[in-house]
Chains A and B, each alone.
Chain A
């Protein structure tokens, strides 16, 4: 049981190298995530937040650096082989679930995350009872709709379901990439509340990208700000607890030498 759950050592990724569209999306990023850390990540559009999450989960291979998970080097592992360690929720509610399959079938897939897919039956009745119990905790009434297709659910319901799927078997790290950005404010708040409950219940190590500064300050024990492919702020512990939006803006302009102009949405 290493104290450090996830370690990034000078990780870089350039998209479309050697073309006019060349873009260094993350640039020598190093980060130590301690076991049980709940880190919020903010930064303007194109700062490299999603790229960082995708590098960790192995959506693409990184150009340089190492990714160490719980003491093991996972840098070269393909995405599907790392999946058992990570729970993921995407910004787009469409991406986290299979719309043509029933709620319970989606959960059954998540329950088998990282296991071999055999010719045994895809879902057992014992599991169903477990899923019903888990769905009840979301307080969305989904436990009564387990055989319905996920395609019938609203964006918020889907994100809540995806959250449940991400945590159904305990992930080493939970990765949330602006998972409330596509939702209306009220639903977003509800999904955030569910998020916090799930994280707290199992004391999950969590990285949560958000476009909302208030949320970034309110949630978690540590805050990271990214700009232009780099981590420019890492605020931890007591300092994080006392943080306000004004302080954050002031820190940003001091570190980056510019005003925080990229988008007003960050303040909302």
Chain B
């Protein structure tokens, strides 16, 4: 039981980095960016390749971040320079990344068409293994500590960044691009910055995930955008009352952790893990539909009330006539 819980938290902390990235594109920039699905795999395959080449695993995470930023920039350029709608821009990059990721993984094995990379032979050389031996703790607790440190660092940097002049300009771009341009903000540039940061974080999450589970797979990103959104929605529901930016970031992080813990227990209870995606989609659908459902309930109540009043008036009119 405890193991299931802790494993869920460990994974949740990794997915929290992705959720923060998705939060930047979907919520702050209001840009429905699907690059995510290819980008998490990009981070994983780059990190795996570099570990195969015996590079420092922490450095590989940094390289993954940079690669993710480039992918985000490409999506941004497709949208801002070529005027391709956000969703399509993201899909184009995502699809291209599929081929690119296979090329990256093939670089490690030397055989073309490699669709997954195992780190089992190098498992002593992942960030998690190194933190464990450094702290002299067991795998679970050291992963937990490492995860917490990473998430605190990332959210701290984000809190600082979105308080800077550039960060404020990016926030304003998502809220009101017309106003931004009239205030001299180059909204193409702020969009690019936001998307680069967002996808950098998503690739970072991919790199960590790959080192945590000791493998990278070209399909590991499928559905990741929905997991990111689910985390954001859970966080927003829990932290509805808070307006403060730091609390919003905390909400996203906790949302990811809660989501992963729930998933861990669902798997523990014997549900086949392949059914997880439809379960997640269901949760997100309900959460997204909630405002519409509430509205239609409210309006059908109003309608009934109006009809009752109308009937009443007609009856009253009959008496007078």
Q: Which residues of A contact B (CB under 8 A)?
A: 57, 59, 78-81, 83-84, 86, 88, 90, 94-101, 105-106, 108-110, 112-115, 117-123, 149, 165
Given the complex, which residues of B lie within 8 Å of A110, measured CB to CB?
A: 183
Complex A-B: 23 CB contacts under 8 Å: A78-B186, A83-B185, A88-B182, A97-B176, A97-B179, A98-B175, A98-B176, A98-B179, A98-B180, A101-B168, A101-B171, A101-B172, A109-B169, A109-B180, A109-B185, A113-B183, A118-B164, A119-B164, A119-B166, A120-B165, A122-B164, A122-B167, A122-B168
* Main secondary structure on A side of the interface with B: loop
Contact A90 B164 (CB under 8 A): no
Contact B179 A96 (CB under 8 A): yes
Q: Which 4 A-B pairs have the closest CB atoms?
A: A83-B184, A122-B168, A114-B184, A98-B175
Contact B166 A109 (CB under 8 A): no
Given the complex, which residues of A lie within 8 Å of B112, measured CB to CB?
A: none
Give the residues from 172 to 212 in chain B that come closer than 8 angstroms, CB to CB, to chain A.
Answer: 172, 175-176, 178-187, 190
Taking CB as reference atom, which chain A residue is nearest B164? A119
Give the residues from 86 to 117 in chain B that come closer than 8 angstroms, CB to CB, to chain A.
Answer: none
Contact B185 A80 (CB under 8 A): yes
Contact A99 B176 (CB under 8 A): yes
Q: Count residues of chain B with CB under 8 A from any CB of chain A.
A: 24
Contact A83 B165 (CB under 8 A): no
B163 at the A/B interface (Cβ < 8 Å)? yes
Instruction: Output the least CB separation between B184 and chain A (Å).
Output: 3
Q: Which residues of B contact A (CB under 8 A)?
A: 161, 163-169, 171-172, 175-176, 178-187, 190, 243
Not counting A79-B182, A95-B178, A99-B175, a sample of 15 additional A-B residue pairs whose C-beta atoms are within 8 angstroms of each other reads: A59-B181, A78-B186, A83-B181, A96-B179, A100-B175, A101-B168, A109-B183, A110-B183, A112-B165, A115-B184, A117-B169, A120-B164, A122-B164, A123-B168, A165-B183
Decide yes or no: A86 and B182 within 8 Å by CB, A80-B187, A101-B171, A149-B243 being known contacts: yes
Given the complex, which residues of A lie within 8 Å of B164, measured CB to CB?
A: 117-122
Taking CB as reference atom, which chain A residue is nearest B172? A98
A149 to B201, CA, bound (A): 28
Given the complex, which residues of B lie within 8 Å of A80, measured CB to CB?
A: 180-181, 184-187
Instruction: Output the least CB separation between A30 and chain B (Å).
Output: 25
Given the complex, which residues of A lie within 8 Å of B187, measured CB to CB?
A: 80
Instruction: Output the least CB separation between B77 and chain A (Å).
Output: 17
Decide yes or no: A84 and B184 within 8 Å by CB, A97-B176, A99-B176, A117-B169 being known contacts: yes
Taking CB as reference atom, which chain B residue is nearest A89? B182
A112 to B180, CA, bound (A): 11
Contact B181 A105 (CB under 8 A): no
- Select one of A99, A113, A118 contacting B184, CB under 8 A: A113
A120 to B161, CA, bound (A): 9
A115 to B184, CA, bound (A): 7
Contact B183 A83 (CB under 8 A): yes
Instruction: Output the least CB separation between A118 and chain B (Å).
Output: 5
Taking CB as reference atom, which chain B residue is nearest A151? B175
A240 to B52, CA, bound (A): 81
Taking CB as reference atom, which chain A residue is nearest B162? A122
Given the complex, which residues of B lie within 8 Å of A83, measured CB to CB?
A: 181-185
Q: Which of B166, B169, B172, B180 has the most CB of A within 10 A?
A: B172
Given the complex, which residues of A lie within 8 Å of B176, measured CB to CB?
A: 94-95, 97-99
A59 to B243, CA, bound (A): 33
Given the complex, which residues of B lie within 8 Å of A119, measured CB to CB?
A: 161, 164-166
Given the complex, which residues of B lie within 8 Å of A95, measured CB to CB?
A: 176, 178-179
Q: Which of B166, B180, B183, B243 has the most CB of A within 10 A?
A: B183
Given the complex, which residues of B lie within 8 Å of A96, measured CB to CB?
A: 179, 182
- Select one of A90, A109, A120 contacting B178, CB under 8 A: A90
A262 to B179, CA, bound (A): 30
Instruction: Output the least CB separation between B26 and chain A (Å).
Output: 14
Decide yes or no: A118 and B165 within 8 Å by CB, A83-B181, A84-B184 being known contacts: yes
A210 to B168, CA, bound (A): 32
A114 to B185, CA, bound (A): 7
Given the complex, which residues of B lie within 8 Å of A149, measured CB to CB?
A: 243
